Amino acid sequence: MPTPPKGRRPRVAPARAAIRGNRLFAALVAAGVLLRVVAMLGYPPALWFNDSYDFLRIANDPFPHPLRSEGYGLFLWLLKPFHSLALVTALQHGAIVGMAVLGYRALVRDFAVRRHWAALALAPILLDGYQIELEHLLLSDTLFTVLVFTAVLLLARPGSAGCRRTAAAGGLLGVAAVTRTVGVPLIVIALLYLLVRRTRWPALAALAAAFVLPLGGYAAWFHHDYGRVALTGADGIYLWGRTSAFADCDRYAAPQELVRLCPYGAPDDRPAASHQIWEDNSPTGWKNGHPFDPETNEKAQEFALWAIGNQPLDYARVVSYDFFVRTFSWNRDPYPVLGTEAKYRFPVRPDRQRPLPVIGGGDRLSVVREYEHGSGRTRVVSPFAGFIRGYQSVVNVRGSMLGVVLLAGAAGIVARRARRGSGLFWLTGTALLAVPPLTADFDYRYLLPALPFACLAAAMGWGRGTPDAAPDPEPVEPGPAEREAEVQPAGA
């Protein structure tokens, strides 16, 4: 019987080894896919959030929205010819499963992590009930997570970072920043990481240029419509909301031109920071269907900076509480309000869609009809809805668990057990958790985009060191002499 020439591997062996080595992860993927199918059968075609209607309004007739980042609306615009919200949610579910597969492959092949550790690192992304529910919402978080995750994988891969790789990563980070502005600071982390790796300046320049390109294009579009270079017309409003949790105009006299923006009531009796923006009697003057005027946004930013300057310790206190207490608590509170937190749970009955006006024209019902060619109303279908609702209440990553994972990743880095690249994952995950409390407010849905980065950082620190984690060698193409030997009979 002829033996395979030296340097070549039997074709069937790698396939069998892959099946044996990846059996746990294959089971997790199968479970993740099945759970997402159940969610789609139980709640067709999608779940709704207040922001969803603004994104659909962008998709119907793209324009630089003064409140919402544009990237997700443009993603919906690309899918509009299909007039199917079910397609949107299916793609979102599929994207997260695909991201998990990509992450597993990178852990095993690029970062030499044991296969079972790699599988466990991706299990929360595949199985977490809140993650599955978030993917079923018409929100930008899923698209944003996939963009950032792919960019970080490109930068963290072993080997020299060439211009093509860094440019691709920079472009993905730029699109992510247009999708959610919380992504803007991530370019600083990426640049610092490459500097620590002593990456050559052309690659650094490629990263920065590719990042600026989508942001610059959108900022120019925004300037064309509103006369100012910006990514949003409410950055000052959101920062005002952050400071409304502690700003005390009774103790500190605000400048006369800013007095009208003093929050109502004593700081301890006020609603949640982000919720104060949208109240009917808010000093911001919010009205459904009307953007904040530029002067109010500018004055709100001035007020916020004044409040932070006058009460830096109070600012640090509310940010620290949101980051360390709310983020890493075992149980969830109804924050910022009961209705908002409830949006992150599979509902017993669908919300009633109301014909509230939306910015850009029309109302919520009309923008859904134009996009879907139907009502788009969520249907609750038994027994699938009951199953996934019960599943979510039991299988989910608690905030305390996320904190332990982050600490494990940090410990691996400090102990120098982690592969180079784990620091980039850890810093990205931490930044995604920290930036919202610093600039706007805490929200439970902001925890989930940080989860894959924290899990991969921990796995890279503590899951290495066995032969089964090493990548399979690539098959070697036979030379002319080996090809000739293949056709010779045994013993010739």
pLDDT in tens, the chain (492 residues): 455 455 444 444 444 544 456 899 999 999 999 999 999 999 999 999 999 999 999 999 999 999 999 999 999 999 999 999 999 999 999 999 999 999 999 999 999 999 999 999 999 999 999 999 999 999 999 999 999 999 999 999 987 788 999 999 999 999 999 999 999 999 999 999 999 998 899 999 999 999 999 999 999 999 999 999 999 999 999 999 999 999 999 999 999 999 999 999 889 889 898 899 998 889 999 999 999 999 999 999 999 999 999 999 999 999 999 999 999 999 999 999 999 999 999 999 988 889 999 999 999 999 999 999 999 999 999 999 999 999 999 999 999 999 999 999 999 998 877 778 899 999 999 999 999 999 999 999 999 999 999 999 999 989 875 444 444 443 444 444 444 444 444 333
Six-digit token string for 341: 């937190």
pLDDT of res. 361: 94
CA separation, residue 303 to residues 276, 297, 436 (Å): 15, 10, 19
pLDDT of res. 274: 87
Please state, in angstroms and rounded to a whole number, the distance separating the CA atoms of residues 178 and 170: 12
pLDDT of res. 488: 43
Cross-strand partners of 113 = 464
Contact, 146 vs 449, CB < 8 A?
A: no
Contact, 345 vs 128, CB < 8 A?
A: no
Please state, in angstroms and rounded to a whole number, the distance separating the CA atoms of residues 272 and 281: 14
Q: Residue 151: helix, strand or coil by DSSP?
A: helix
pLDDT of res. 489: 41
DSSP codes, 49-106: -HHHHHHHHHHHS----SSS-SHHHHHHHHHGGG--HHHHHHHHHHHHHHHHHHHHHI
298 exposure class (CB count in 10 Å sphere: 0-12, 13-18, 19+)? middle
pLDDT of res. 468: 43
Longest CA–CA span in the chain (Å) reads 100
CA separation, residue 111 to residues 165, 166, 444 (Å): 17, 19, 31
pLDDT of res. 465: 54
Contact, 312 vs 381, CB < 8 A?
A: no
Contact, 91 vs 401, CB < 8 A?
A: no
- The model's pTM: 0.90
Please state, in angstroms and rounded to a whole number, the distance separating the CA atoms of residues 209 and 245: 38
Please state, in angstroms and rounded to a whole number, the distance separating the CA atoms of residues 360 and 58: 8
Please state, in angstroms and rounded to a whole number, the distance separating the CA atoms of residues 349 and 377: 11
Q: Residue 36: helix, strand or coil by DSSP?
A: helix
pLDDT of res. 49: 96
Please state, in angstroms and rounded to a whole number, the distance separating the CA atoms of residues 222 and 228: 7
Exposure string of 442-474, with b = 16+ CB inside 10 Å and e = fewer, is: bbbbbbbbbbbbbbbbbbbbbbbeeeebeeeee
DSSP codes, 449-488: GGHHHHHHHHHHHHSB-SGGGSPPPPPPPP-HHHHHHHTS
Please state, in angstroms and rounded to a whole number, the distance separating the CA atoms of residues 178 and 212: 10
Six-digit token string for 214: 């989508």
- Residue 47 phi/psi, 5° resolution? -110, 155
Q: Collect all residues with Cβ–Cβ distance below 8 Å to 126 and sequence separation of at least 6.
A: 28, 29, 31, 32, 96, 97, 100
